[in-house]
Amino acid sequence: MSEVLHHFSQDPSIERFVPHVPASNPTAAPAVWAIDAEHAPLYWFPRDCPRVTAWPRHDGERPAFETAFATTAHRVHAIEAGWLERMRTVRLHRYDLPAGPFEPWDAASGQWTAAVEVVPVAVVALGDLLALHADAGIELRVVPSLWPLRDLAVSDRWDFSIVRWANAAPRPA
């Protein structure tokens, strides 16, 4: 594990992170949530933006991934077209957190939780999220509906993440 984990927020003034139960998972124990650097791009979005992301876990999955997603990128991220303007204008900040109090959360790749308050060691404004994706070699798709990519991403053939799905548009008829 790295010595630093991350948390992303549109609020640049958080002085400490306090364990809480997430509204999206009311049965979870109170925790502070963080992500490792490898999986941090999953959070390069406005907070409430629904998104589908997928990537091969190892080189053996790459050929099937590239064929299924028609890409040579090492990751594919997708948002609905209605979120594009917010992607362009959001002011997102990366909080760097000391890894010491965190334990891996096995339910999701790269996720970590701490049961105690955590004080960030740094906060960094990220700037242009579209450029951040491009500079990282991540294919960012802007689509009319996330449903086709969601259906494709949900697989045991590669890793995936679906975030803020409750905010996604309904499945087209």
pLDDT in tens, 50-84: 999 999 999 999 999 999 999 999 999 999 999 99
Q: State phi, psi for 127 to the nearest 5 degrees.
A: 80, -145
Q: Is the dihedral of CA 93, 99, 102, 104 positive or negative?
A: positive
CA-to-CA distance for 63 and 65, rounded, in angstroms?
A: 5
Among 149, 123, 157, smallest CA distance to 50 is for 149
Q: Is residue 68 within 8 Å of 101, Cβ to Cβ?
A: no
Looking at residue 23, its pLDDT comes to 84
Q: Is residue 69 within 8 Å of 152, Cβ to Cβ?
A: yes
Give the whole-number percent of the chain exceeding pLDDT 70.
99
| Full-model pTM | 0.93
Q: Given a cut of 90, is residue 106 above it in pLDDT? A: no
Q: Given a cut of 90, is residue 22 above it in pLDDT? A: no
Looking at residue 107, its pLDDT comes to 84
| Range name among 2-6, 127-131, 158-162 with the lowest pLDDT average | 2-6
Q: Given a cut of 60, is residue 1 above it in pLDDT? A: no
Q: What is the pLDDT of residues 109-142, one digit of tens each?
A: 899 999 999 999 999 999 999 999 999 999 999 9
> 93-98 and 103-104 as β-strands: parallel, antiparallel, unpaired?
unpaired
> Mean pLDDT across the chain, nearest whole number?
96
The CA-atom distances, in angstroms, between 133 and each of 2, 113, 137 are: 22, 25, 6
